[in-house]
């Protein structure tokens, strides 16, 4: 391989991006991002508040400090940092399609999000971020109170339901 790279240095310049894109496409498909994006792909620009460099899980795939999560008038937005974009088109889920369920794993509090048209893909965010999203979304987060994360002043989520 070293001889190949020494003789044809452009090979590495071509192979690495191809490998990188292949890995990202695989993660996007296996984790569930691609399925959500196929139903809720964002075709234009997102307008609303954004939280950059956030972490979360789409299915089994962990996105550490590379997510941009947004809350706007039209819905809940997800995108990834530009170098991770292959296989991860921006997503916008209308508020009426979002449901949330509180979870605690090893004393860490999370909120699991599910989306009406792709209910088998779980998106897990920290309770702190979910609360920020709720405060920004206000009444736009449609549905009953059981589909929204808890209010930060309410002392958290109770009985598997949100307050």
pTM for the predicted model, two decimal places: 0.81
Q: Is 113 within 8 Å of 124 (Cβ atoms)?
A: yes
Beta strands across the sheet bearing 91-93: 91-93, 75-80, 61-72, 49-58, 118-126, 108-115, 98-105
pLDDT for residue 149: 55
- Answer whether residue 5 shows pLDDT above 80: no
Beta bridge partners of 75: 72
Domains of the chain: 30-147 (2.30.29.30)
- Answer whether residue 47 shows pLDDT above 80: yes
**Residue 22 main-chain phi, psi, to 5 deg:** -65, -45
pLDDT for residue 49: 96
Of 140 and 133, the one with more pLDDT: 133
Least confident among 3-17, 65-79, 129-143: 3-17
Quickly list DSSP for 113-158: EEETTEEEEEEEEEHHHHHHHHHHHGGGS-S-GGGSPPPTTTTS-B
pLDDT for residue 2: 74
pLDDT for residue 9: 75
Residue 71 token pair: 């809350």
């Amino acid at each position: 391989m070293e001889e190949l790279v020494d003789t044809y240095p452009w090979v590495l310049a071509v192979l690495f991006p191809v490998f990188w894109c292949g890995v990202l496409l695989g993660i996007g498909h296996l984790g569930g991002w691609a399925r959500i994006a196929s139903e809720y792909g964002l075709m234009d620009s997102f307008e609303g508040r954004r939280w950059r460099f956030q972490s979360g899980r789409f299915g089994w795939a962990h996105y550490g400090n590379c997510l941009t999560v947004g809350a706007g008038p039209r819905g809940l937005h997800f995108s990834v940092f530009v170098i991770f974009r292959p296989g991860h088109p921006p997503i916008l889920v209308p508020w009426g399609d979002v449901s949330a369920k509180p979870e605690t794993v090893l004393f860490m509090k999370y909120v699991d999000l599910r989306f009406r048209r792709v209910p088998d893909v779980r998106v897990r965010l920290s309770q702190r971020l979910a609360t920020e999203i709720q405060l920004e979304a206000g009444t736009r987060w449609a549905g009953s109170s059981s589909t929204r994360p808890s209010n930060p002043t309410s002392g958290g989520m109770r009985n598997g339901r949100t307050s």
